[in-house]
Chains A and B, each alone.
Chain A
Amino acid sequence: MRGSGQHVRTLKLTNLEAGVEAQVKGLTGHPLFRNRLISLGITPHSQIVLVRRMPMGGPLEVEVRGTRLAIRRKDADQIWVSVGDSM
């Protein structure tokens, strides 16, 4: 356990640090919204990177499956991701 030095943290996409690759764990929220996420490539197991945050609570820019998307923080709260960070 200690040998791997890895801790897996699960957090909301909104709280992810910029530039860190994470894996999407689950989607919550309205079915139509989830459907839209799926068709844009945000599905469980997909790799996602937060590129930047817009100031003053503005949207987030993320990269997923080779494309960049903008998403509001409120909506990004519905996406759970996990990162394994080395301790």
Chain B
Amino acid sequence: MRIALVGNPNVGKTTLFNALTGAHQEVANWPGTTVEYVIGKIRTSEAGEDLELVDLPGTYALTAYARDERVTRNFLLYEPYDAVIVVVNASSLERNLFLALEVLELTPHVVVALNMVDVAREQGITVYADELSRRLGVPVVPTVASHGTGLAELVAWVRRIGRRRVVPLHTWVVPYPAELREVLEPLAAALAEAALAEAARNAGTLNAAAGAASSGGGPADRGAPGGRTPAGAGRFRPEWVALRLLQGDEEITREVRVVPQGQRAARLALSCCAQSAGIDVELGDEAVALDPALLAKVRAQYEAFELQIADAKYNHISRLVDECVQRQPLAKQTITERLDAVLLHPFWGYPAMAAVFFAAFWLSFVVSAPLSDWVSNGITWLGQWAARGMAALGAPAFLQSLVVDGVFAGVGAVLSFVPYMTIFFAIYQLLQDSGYMARASVLVDRWMQSIGLHGKGFFALVSAYGCNVPAMAATRVMENHRDRLLACLVIPFIPCNARLGVMAVMTAAFFPGTRGAFVMMALLLISAGVVAGASVLYRKTVLPTDPAPLLIELPDYHVPSLRNLAIPTWHRVWMFVSRIWKFLLWATLATWALTYFPVGAPVDQSYAARLGHLLAPVGQLYGFDWRLMIAIVFGFVAKETTLSTLGVLYGAGADGASLPHLLAQSMTPLVAFTYLVVYMLYIPCLSTVIQMHRESGSWKWTAAGMAVNVGVAFSLGLVLERLLWLFG
């Protein structure tokens, strides 16, 4: 049995999912999108069959406008399933029941999980689940997902509902007012007729009606499950289709028009609409399509219907809430209100946010640094053991070098990311789940907007100072594709931990003492300026829209469970490792080959050196020698390796000379500063490029973004070099 799990954001849907499925989960990517959904199995000790549970993105409605909304809707429309669990928050039923009603209009195979009843009780809200169940005509099970309360009963109901033929309590689910019914009912009748005609036509080859009713796929009385009937009106409840047609749903209109009888129904919907809009022409679709004035009128009427339908739903909900919910006025403020008095305070909110983010990044940098060191040291140590073993077996020298400097170095490069990623994603999830992230977005939205970015992108941008890769993953909180793309395009200009490390070492070598601090500050200001400038320019040129409206819920604060933090963290880290390792390993092997061959040659005659000499003319413009150019090229694989590459190229350690010392001897501070600017901005590492492709979904954007990075870095470097040379 396949069960879909839907609900508003912040209702504990994922907590419920985790509680039901435990560790039996896998992440799937929605075809053609970056939207992920998770599939889990409910195991029971009974002999009953396993339930497959699909956690769909949180959504407020099924209208197919927002990205997450569309994924959830498409699943409910076109994928096979046996029942839907609608999770509602018991403390805000007034809004939550809207989605529940939308789902009920689509299929009666619904079990409502009345979640967070404990929180509601604390707020003085009592919901009479039996009464609500009687009024909705589907089971309503009170649950506290975080404590596992009510889950057994929920699963039992799902099993019962999934296999049965369910008749909706009321055909229309919502008692729509008479004037709407006058339009809706003939339309639904026409659609039902179209569906029948369609079934009869299909019956020529197969007894479709019977096939549909007894099929194992989607809800039996929803018509044929996904795949059986490829299109047509008979796929969905006629009442639901009628409602959608009246609101001008283009996708459903297309779907209905596939069969001739459906075309008649679609025309009926259009003329109903035209009539209500006061257009008294006998119209075919062409007339409307051709005349913009008519089209505008019809559109306005669709919207009027939409508003009337929504209004009727909310009125129905008000009645349900009056009958099934008892509210005791609370004298004292809730915890959320008291916290928000500080955290969203017009003044104190900002220092509070700085403190929260500082703690978050301090934890991810400082705690992960020694762990990363252990991991890379461990890998190096293993590599040395492997080399000794191979030497003992008499393996040729190049093979030993391949294993140690190629394979083990590559594996080390992948794994050294893991501690940082793990801690970062856990903290990210904590801020997200606790309800704080929404507040932070609200606090900074005004500033972000002034450079064309969305408030929700702030955390991603700040976290890019840690590592660009998860920062790009963190842009997903934004619903609008352009907002996300823009954030991904500017993130590479922010120096990550690894780049900051290299910058710190070089700055210390060239600008000892207090001057070093000023130089670092100057570098960071340049980076911030480039981020702001690039963002404004992108908005003015290739992404000419304002950031999407900021319209977010500020959920009640709560402490997420360890399990709710651990599961998504694990998914994200695993996703990263499984995607990146191949690329990083090949890149490390290529780097190794370039420096190792031709066999026996000193490092300044290797293929890498020849490549460096090829690039030397470019470097000369800036005063960079071939070794610095090579470090730039190899830095693409992973910025962490820059220092060791430079070490090898400059022959550090050979006569006890340290790399900073050697660097300071080989160039002027002016050249070094230019190099630092170019190095800070030029291109993120390979992992970032791959993540960027994943987030943008397009190689074109990825390549364009990288080209801009390199272009900006080198031209800014050139300008700086000239300026510094003139004045300095």
A residues whose Cβ falls under 8 Å from a Cβ of B: 31-41, 43-46, 52-59, 61, 65-72, 75
Q: A59-B442, A65-B314 known; 9 other A-B pairs, CB under 8 Å?
A: A36-B65, A36-B551, A41-B95, A41-B314, A52-B346, A53-B346, A54-B349, A54-B446, A57-B446
**A66–B95 contact, CB under 8 A?**
yes
Set of chain A residues within 8 Å of B329, measured between Cβ atoms: none
Give Cα A34 to B344, complex, Å. Answer: 26
**B310–A38 contact, CB under 8 A?**
yes
Instruction: Name the residue in B442, B445, B550, B551 with the highest tally of chain A Cβ atoms < 10 Å from its Cβ.
Output: B551
Set of chain B residues within 8 Å of A58, measured between Cβ atoms: 442-443, 445-446
Give Cα A31 to B303, complex, Å. Answer: 8
Decide yes or no: A69 and B344 within 8 Å by CB, A38-B306, A43-B310 being known contacts: no
Give Cα A58 to B458, complex, Å. Answer: 14
Give Cα A18 to B101, complex, Å. Answer: 32
Give Cα A12 to B65, complex, Å. Answer: 26
Decide yes or no: A40 and B443 within 8 Å by CB, A66-B91, A70-B438 being known contacts: no
B residues whose Cβ falls under 8 Å from a Cβ of A: 60-61, 63, 65-66, 91-95, 98-99, 299, 303, 306-307, 310-311, 314, 344, 346-347, 349, 438, 441-443, 445-446, 449, 455, 549-554
**B552–A70 contact, CB under 8 A?**
yes
B650 to A: closest C-beta gap in Å: 50
Set of chain A residues within 8 Å of B455, measured between Cβ atoms: 59
Give Cα A43 to B307, complex, Å. Answer: 8
Set of chain A residues within 8 Å of B63, measured between Cβ atoms: 35, 39
Instruction: Name the residue in B92, B306, B310 with the highest tally of chain A Cβ atoms < 10 Å from its Cβ.
Output: B310
Give Cα A46 to B549, complex, Å. Answer: 21
**B442–A43 contact, CB under 8 A?**
no
**A71–B347 contact, CB under 8 A?**
no
Contact of B443 among A34, A46, A54, A65 (CB under 8 A): A54
21 A–B contacts, CB within 8 A, in A order: A31-B303, A36-B60, A36-B66, A36-B551, A38-B61, A38-B307, A40-B95, A40-B551, A41-B98, A44-B311, A54-B442, A54-B445, A54-B446, A56-B446, A58-B442, A59-B550, A67-B94, A67-B95, A69-B552, A70-B442, A71-B550
Give Cα A79 to B349, complex, Å. Answer: 27
**A67–B92 contact, CB under 8 A?**
yes
Set of chain B residues within 8 Å of A35, measured between Cβ atoms: 61, 63, 65, 306
Give Cα A55 to B353, complex, Å. Answer: 14
**B550–A39 contact, CB under 8 A?**
no
Set of chain B residues within 8 Å of A46, measured between Cβ atoms: 314
Decide yes or no: A34 and B553 within 8 Å by CB, A58-B445, A65-B95, A72-B445 being known contacts: no
Give Cα A79 to B303, complex, Å. Answer: 16
Give Cα A61 to B455, complex, Å. Answer: 14
Set of chain A residues within 8 Å of B549, measured between Cβ atoms: 33, 36, 71-72, 75
Set of chain B residues within 8 Å of A33, measured between Cβ atoms: 549, 551
**A75–B551 contact, CB under 8 A?**
yes
**B91–A69 contact, CB under 8 A?**
no
Set of chain A residues within 8 Å of B552, measured between Cβ atoms: 69-70
Decide yes or no: A45 and B443 within 8 Å by CB, A32-B65, A55-B346, A67-B95 being known contacts: no
Set of chain B residues within 8 Å of A69, measured between Cβ atoms: 551-554
9 smallest A-B Cβ distances: which pairs?
A39-B61, A39-B60, A65-B94, A58-B446, A55-B346, A68-B554, A41-B95, A70-B442, A66-B92
Instruction: Name the residue in A38, A39, A41, A72 with the highest tally of chain B Cβ atoms < 10 Å from its Cβ.
Output: A39
Set of chain A residues within 8 Å of B299, measured between Cβ atoms: 31
A78's nearest neighbour on chain B, judged by CB, is B549
Give Cα A27 to B357, complex, Å. Answer: 37
Give Cα A84 to B552, complex, Å. Answer: 28
Give Cα A32 to B248, complex, Å. Answer: 13
Set of chain B residues within 8 Å of A43, measured between Cβ atoms: 307, 310-311, 314
Give Cα A79 to B99, complex, Å. Answer: 22
Give Cα A75 to B66, complex, Å. Answer: 17
Give Cα A54 to B99, complex, Å. Answer: 30
Set of chain A residues within 8 Å of B314, measured between Cβ atoms: 41, 43, 46, 65
B658 to A: closest C-beta gap in Å: 49
Set of chain B residues within 8 Å of A37, measured between Cβ atoms: 551
Set of chain B residues within 8 Å of A67, measured between Cβ atoms: 92, 94-95, 553
A30's nearest neighbour on chain B, judged by CB, is B549
Set of chain A residues within 8 Å of B445, measured between Cβ atoms: 54, 58-59, 70, 72
Set of chain B residues within 8 Å of A45, measured between Cβ atoms: 311
Give Cα A72 to B449, complex, Å. Answer: 10
A38 to B: closest C-beta gap in Å: 5
**A65–B311 contact, CB under 8 A?**
no
Set of chain B residues within 8 Å of A66, measured between Cβ atoms: 91-95
Set of chain B residues within 8 Å of A59, measured between Cβ atoms: 442, 445-446, 455, 550
A57's nearest neighbour on chain B, judged by CB, is B446
B550's nearest neighbour on chain A, judged by CB, is A72
Set of chain A residues within 8 Å of B441, measured between Cβ atoms: 70
Give Cα A46 to B310, complex, Å. Answer: 12
**A61–B551 contact, CB under 8 A?**
no
A28 to B: closest C-beta gap in Å: 11
Set of chain A residues within 8 Å of B349, measured between Cβ atoms: 54
